[in-house]
Structure 1
Amino acid sequence: MTQTQKILVTGATGTVGRQVVTELLARGHEVRALTRDAASADLPAGAEAVQGDLTEPDSLIPALEGVTGLHLITFGGPYFAPLETGPRILELARAAGVRRVTVLHGGGPSLLEDAVRADEGVDWTVLMPVEFMSNALEWAEQIVASDEVREPFVSRLSAMVHEGDIGAVAAVALTEEGHGGQEYVITGPEVLTVTDKVATIAASRGREISLVELTEEQAVARWRAAGHPQEVIGFLLEVYGNTPEVGRTVVDTVEKVTGRPARTFSRWAAEHADAFAAQSPVATSA
């Protein structure tokens, strides 16, 4: 059992940040959860919500007091712009006595991640998860409304990862020795197609779901109608049509770091079955 430590988690209300908070608390550590609006953060019981903004590094000074570990994201502010404040954040962290830093890779080059990698004053770990299982929640509205999923490239492969496992790897790296200078690709335990995912969700909610494969042209038209700019559409076509090997290859990072197997998509789907449940017909009076 590791000694209780106090960790500052930034992006604490996000998909991954919330899981980092949960995992640290479950391991008996103290958590300060940074948010731009502490009053409405709705964090797990036991977390101390603190106000701050990564775009204004000096706002972190009170939150960093007494902290030994720091979890960082690479974007900030109300518009989620890439952070340019990494050097100052790390300067303040070192001054506060922070020994370990994790940074959630944002999918591409990042000034903050570069600053973390270049810092020799802390043990840093870069977390590089592949597709989140929670991305499947994007289908919830159409499944509830029509028992249907409409997607292109339904045979595309993904080693998608449970967001809780990202949080678990981060929690270990922030509180235990041996993870400094590491770049951890984090995946789930299996490779799935869109067909597999839809069938798993259907089984979890106990009701069939039809899968309709869109042509590339239909997918582009839908993305344009949703307001996606051309560069985003091009990115989606590349990722869906030619998924990089790293995104469809299972690695055992979760088990190596945490000591237990990565969680399955079946487990994730069972945990979120209510999000996909069909709506009951509204009763009408005679």
Structure 2
Amino acid sequence: MILVLGATGKVGRALVPALLDAGAPVRALTRDPARARIDPRAEVVRGDLDDVGSVPLAGVSRVFVLTSGHGGDSAARETALAAAAARAGVAHLVKLSTTGVHFGQTDPITLAHAHAEQAIRGAGPAWTILRPGAFMDNRRFWLHSARTDGAVYVPEGDPASALVHVRDIAAVATLALTTPGHEGATYELTGGEALTPAQQVAILGDALGRAVRYVEEPEPAARARMLALGWPAQAIDGTFELKRQSAGREDVVFDTVERLLGRKPLTFAEWAREAAG
């Protein structure tokens, strides 16, 4: 049995059906099973990582470890989960981290993942670390203003990025969770090309079938916009610090997805067409 944490999140929503399609039994963790939209083939269970004792680990052989990464609490949760998994006899932990750890960044989000990586490696079970770069799905919040204002607002200085599709992350995670040979491996995951924000906006406009303006805005305006969209202040602070430290690094392309999956990574144009639909 494979336990998937974060089953209702960006990666989890892609990973659960990918694992099921691969023939693996899946136990999907959520705080509220009644409201969760999870593939009905999975066993949906209630649990809260703030109370690791509520996480049903009995009968689980492998765990996909995913928390928000915003601040030190996520590292503490993953540390507690790794220890509980070891006590329960779990054989393999696959942790979702970030490429920032590869580059030695010290922003709060990256540090939380780095500390959790250390805990996963030292817990006892076999481990695999996945370090994706920026997600294409993070551009989903552009859609509203693109449709209503005909514009996308991007913080000044936002760097070019080799964005990765969550289905590619899920495909690599499925490989690590269902086939041997990935124990002790650390995989950096990106898309196949680095695109500037202006290029991304142009691609999104093509997918929407309309002209969309690319507008750079000062950081205070960007912060206000993110707050209005419901982002927690701590997440906004962490994101801007991560962006500052990842400048000049987000455009690095790793060949891991193609090497492991034997195909090209999914493109931003493919993602944009899906999101526009």
- For the criterion TM > 0.5, the same-fold answer is yes
**Cα distance, 1:124 vs structure 2:** 0.7
Separation in 2, partners of 1:87, 1:229: 24
8 Å contact 1:159–1:189 — kept in the other structure? Answer: yes
Task: Say what the alpha-carbon RMSD is for the aligned residues.
Answer: 2.7
SS, match of residue 112 in structure 1:
helix
Separation in 1, partners of 2:265, 2:68: 27
Query: Mean alpha-carbon deviation: is it higher for 80-89 or for 64-73?
Result: 80-89
1:211 matched to 2:214? The reply is yes
Structure 1, unmatched stretches of 5+, are 1-5, 275-286
CA gap of 1:233–1:52, structure 2 versus 1, over 3 A, is closer
CA gap of 1:149–1:165, structure 2 versus 1, over 3 A, is same
Give the equivalent residue in structure 1 for 2:240: 236
SS, match of residue 3 in structure 2:
strand
SS, match of residue 90 in structure 1:
helix
8 Å contact 1:154–1:193 — kept in the other structure? Answer: no
Structure 2, unmatched stretches of 5+, are 99-108
1:143 matched to 2:163? The reply is no
Give the equivalent residue in structure 2 for 1:24: 19
8 Å contact 2:2–2:24 — kept in the other structure? Answer: yes
1:109 matched to 2:106? The reply is no
Please point out which of 176, 187, 191 is paired with 2:190: 187
What amino acid is the match of 1:129?
P
Please point out which of 140, 152, 161 is paired with 2:164: 161
8 Å contact 2:159–2:247 — kept in the other structure? Answer: no
Give the equivalent residue in structure 1 for 2:61: 68
8 Å contact 2:11–2:169 — kept in the other structure? Answer: yes
Separation in 2, partners of 1:116, 1:74: 13
**Cα distance, 1:80 vs structure 2:** 9.8
The C-alpha deviation readout for 1:121-158, integer Å capped at 9, x for no partner, is 32211111111001111111111111111223477210
**Cα distance, 1:22 vs structure 2:** 2.1
Separation in 1, partners of 2:111, 2:242: 18
**Cα distance, 1:166 vs structure 2:** 0.9
CA gap of 1:245–1:150, structure 2 versus 1, over 3 A, is closer
Separation in 2, partners of 1:7, 1:237: 34
1:124 matched to 2:116? The reply is no
What amino acid is the match of 1:70?
V
8 Å contact 2:5–2:67 — kept in the other structure? Answer: no
CA gap of 1:210–1:254, structure 2 versus 1, over 3 A, is same
CA gap of 1:82–1:265, structure 2 versus 1, over 3 A, is same
What amino acid is the match of 1:90?
A
**Cα distance, 1:11 vs structure 2:** 0.9
The C-alpha deviation readout for 1:150-205, integer Å capped at 9, x for no partner, is 22347721000001111111111111111112221110011101111111111112
> What TM-score do the two structures reach when normalised by structure 2?
0.83
8 Å contact 1:160–1:188 — kept in the other structure? Answer: yes
1:90 matched to 2:85? The reply is no
Structure with max Cα Rg: 1
Give the equivalent residue in structure 2 for 1:41: 36
Separation in 2, partners of 1:83, 1:237: 18
Separation in 2, partners of 1:174, 1:21: 11
Percent pairwise identity: 37
The C-alpha deviation readout for 1:231-255, integer Å capped at 9, x for no partner, is 9458527726x64444211111112
Separation in 1, partners of 2:17, 2:254: 24
**Cα distance, 1:91 vs structure 2:** 3.7
SS, match of residue 64 in structure 1:
coil
The C-alpha deviation readout for 1:207-256, integer Å capped at 9, x for no partner, is 11111233xxx33234146557599458527726x644442111111122
Separation in 2, partners of 1:125, 1:185: 11
What amino acid is the match of 1:192?
L
